[in-house]
């Protein structure tokens, strides 16, 4: 999906837990996340802290989208 969207010139950041799979299928901007069942969360953290971490991840995603790259990059 990432590639098909990117082909149209739209910048995509692929946020996923298992980076090697993302690398293999050829996403360009890759953002590593927490874990498969909760990429943007961590049930072990208290809700406040969890949300703070989630926000930081999204901020990182936005930075990745604004970063010029010429090849695959893990942020």
Partner 1 sequence: MAARYRAIFCLNQFFGGLGGEDKAYLAPQLLEGARGPGIFLERLVPEVEVVATLVCGDNYLAEKTELAISEILALLRPWFENEEKDRVHLLLAGPAFNAGRYGLACGAICKAVRECFAVPAVTAMYPENPAVEEYRKDVLIARAGEDVMAMEESLKNMAGLACKLLQGEELLPGRDDYIPQGRRKNYFAEKSGAVRAVDMLLKKLAGEPFSTEYVMPVFDRVAPAPAVQDMAIARLALVTSGGIVPHGNPDRIEAANASRFGAYPLQGLSAFSAETHQSAHGGYDATFANENPNRILPLDVVRELEAEGAFGSLHDTYYATVGNGTSVANAKKYGSEIAKRLLADGVQAVILTST
Partner 2 sequence: MAFERGDITVADVRFGGQTKLREKMLFLDEKALTDFLLSRDDRIANCLVSIARPGDSIRILCVKDVLQPSCKIRDDGPGVGRRHNLDNVAVVTCGKIVGFQEGIIDMSGPGALYTPFSGTLNVVLDVNVIPGLTPHQHEDTIRNAGHAAADFLGEAGRSVAPDTLQSYAALEETAASPDLPRVVYVYMLLSQGLLHDTYVFGRNAREGMPRTIDPVMLLDGAITSGNCVSACDKNSSWHHQHNPLLRELYLRHGRDLNFTGVVLTNEPVRLAAKEESAEKTIALIQGMNADGVILSKEGFGNPDADQMLLTRGLEKAGIKLVAISDEFAGPDGASQSLADTAEEADAVVSVGNANERILLPPMERLLGPVSDLRRLAGAWPHSLHEDGSLEVELQAIIGATNELGMQTLSCREV
Nearer to partner 2, 6 or 38 (CB): 38
CB atoms near residue 8 (< 10 Å): 7
Nearer to partner 2, 5 or 35 (CB): 35
Contact of residue 69 among partner 1, partner 2, none (CB under 5-8 Å per partner type): partner 1
Residue 59 CA to residue 43 CA, distance in Å, equals 20
Q: Check binding of 5 to partner 1 (CB under 8 A).
A: yes
Contact of residue 32 among partner 2, partner 1, none (CB under 5-8 Å per partner type): partner 2
Q: For residue 49, with 0-12 CB atoms within 10 Å meaning exposed, 13-18 middle and 19 or more buried, which class applies?
A: exposed
């Amino acid at each position: 999906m990432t590639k098909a969207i990117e082909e149209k010139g739209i910048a995509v950041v692929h946020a996923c837990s298992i980076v090697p799979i993302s690398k293999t299928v050829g996403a360009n901007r890759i953002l590593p996340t927490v874990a498969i069942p909760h990429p943007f969360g961590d049930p072990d953290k208290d809700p406040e802290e969890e949300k703070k971490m989630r926000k930081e991840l999204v901020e990182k995603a936005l930075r990745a989208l604004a970063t010029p790259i010429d090849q695959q990059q893990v942020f």
